[in-house]
A and B are shown apart, each in its own frame.
Chain A
Amino acid sequence: MNRKGVAILSLAAIGFLIAIVLFYGQVDKLPGNQKKYLGEAEVNLFNTYIAAEKELLYIDLMAKYALDDSYEGGDLLIQFKNNFGQRLVSFNEVYGRDISINDYQIKMSKDNIVGITNKQLNITTDKIDYNFRPSFRISL
């Protein structure tokens, strides 16, 4: 066997090994390649959505119960505003917010009561800044 050939072959093999090590060692460091698990970013987004949805569920239920307490004792809309305003204190305590009845524009139609607010509630995590408005609509 030709020993010159063996030397070239050995060099090629060693070079190939070095190339493989370099490639796999550097591939994770390339720009744009975030070392994250599959779906990790989406999970964070879902968790943020769930946190916001919990607050919205509380607001919706609170509005419903405020309405239930408003059928007796005069003007329905005024009673509702009073009851809803009182219950907002509890919401603020639970979720650490500072929203008040003055932040809402409450309208009553034949079928429902709508509370619209421009006040944005914010949930901030590592890379997510999520804003939502706790508006509501309840059926009469």
Chain B
Amino acid sequence: MKTKNGQTEDIFADLIIALIFIVITVIIIGVKQGEHEIGTSTILASEKNTLKNMDLLTLLRTPAMQVNQEKEGLSEVRNINFAELFSMIYQNYPNEISGFEWLFDDFIDGGIASDSLSCESNFKDLITETLGYPSWSLRFYSFTGKQIFECDNLQARKDYAQKQGYYAKFNTTIPSPQGKNILIEMEIIE
């Protein structure tokens, strides 16, 4: 290109230099801004897990069903929560046989009598409806560490959910009427 004074100037060299500056600036801002966003805006998988753990803990205190109970010679209807329901397992299986499929089975012990309840659709529906998550699993371990009950309603792939952070595992120990502890392990899989 010719200037007024007749000098030749390669305007493209200036343009390229300007372009390089712009690209470098954008890269710096992009990289640094990206680092900054990770530190302030990303929601951690552990946050989701914590909230699900809250849901599982709430489930244990939520009323599950009504049972008839004899107290001082009188029969009365009593609301029991899920933690109480789960802790009934020893009443039917005092010898700690593994592979229980019945949570309880029409037993009349300690004054509590009710319908049978096993890992079937009624039990699954009860938990699914109360918990609000369709895909879950539930396991009980006795005071000796032996698994004594298992029930699940898995609608999603666990390995995928674990990788994506749509998974929570919750453990807690509850007492039973017999004085033996039960470790409850629950999972939510989205």
Give B residues with C-beta under 8 Å from A. Answer: 3, 9, 11, 14, 17-18, 21, 24-25, 28-29, 32-33, 35-36, 38-44, 46-47, 50-51, 53-54, 57, 60-61, 71-72, 83-84, 87, 110-111, 172-177, 179, 181
| The residue from A28, A35, A36, A61 contacting B175, defined by CB atoms under 8 A apart | A61
Q: Does A132 contact B (CB under 8 A)?
A: no
Question: Is A30 an interface residue when CB atoms closer than 8 A count as contact?
Answer: no
Cα–Cα distance between A40 and B49 once the two chains are bound (Å): 12
A50-B50 CB under 8 A given contacts A28-B39, A57-B83:
yes
| Interface hits, A1-42 → B, CB 8 Å | 1, 6, 10, 13, 16-17, 20-21, 24-25, 27-28, 35-40, 42
Can you report 9 residue pairs joining A to B where beta carbons are below 8 Å apart?
Answer: A1-B11, A17-B25, A38-B40, A43-B47, A58-B173, A61-B175, A62-B175, A86-B179, A91-B175
The 4 residue pairs across chains A and B that have the minimum distance between CB atoms: A24-B32, A54-B172, A65-B177, A13-B21
Q: Tell me whether B39 and A37 are in contact (CB under 8 A).
A: yes
Residue pair B21, A17 in contact (C-beta under 8 Å): yes
Interface residues of chain B: helix, strand, loop or mixed (majority): helix
Using A24-B28, A46-B51, A61-B83 as known contacts, list a sample of 14 further A-B pairs with CB atoms less than 8 Å apart, ordered by residue number in A.
Answer: A6-B14, A13-B18, A17-B24, A24-B35, A37-B38, A37-B42, A38-B40, A46-B50, A53-B57, A54-B172, A57-B60, A58-B175, A61-B84, A69-B177
- What is the total number of residues of chain A having a CB less than 8 Å from a CB of chain B? 39
Chain A residues at the B interface, C-beta cutoff of 8 Å:
1, 6, 10, 13, 16-17, 20-21, 24-25, 27-28, 35-40, 42-43, 46-47, 50, 53-54, 57-58, 61-62, 64-65, 68-69, 71, 86-87, 90-91, 94
Given A6-B14, A50-B54, A58 contacting B47 (CB threshold 8 A): no
Q: Which residues of A contact B175 (CB under 8 A)?
A: 58, 61-62, 65, 87, 90-91
* CA gap between A75 and B167 in the complex, in Å: 49
Least CB distance, B148 to chain A, in whole angstroms: 17
Residue of B nearest to A21 (CB): B28
How near does chain A come to B116, taking the closest CB pair, in angstroms?
A: 21
- Known A-B contacts A1-B9, A21-B28; A58 and B179 likewise in contact (beta carbons under 8 Å): no
Complex: A50 Cα to B56 Cα, angstroms: 10
User: Do B179 and A38 touch across chains, with their CB atoms under 8 A apart?
Assistant: no
Residues of B within 8 A of A40 (CB): 44
- Between B40, B111, B172, the greatest number of chain A beta carbons within 10 A of the residue's beta carbon is seen for B172
Residue of A nearest to B39 (CB): A35
* Neighbouring B residues of A17 by C-beta, 8 Å: 21, 24-25, 28
When distances are taken between beta carbons in the complex, the residues of chain B under 8 Å from A57 are: 57, 60-61, 83, 172, 174
Contacts of B38 in A (CB 8 A): 37
Q: How far is the CB of B50 from chain A (nearest CB, A)?
A: 5
Question: Contacts A62-B175, A94-B181: A39 and B43 contacting too (C-beta < 8 A)?
Answer: yes
Contact of A39 among B33, B44, B111, B177 (CB under 8 A): B44
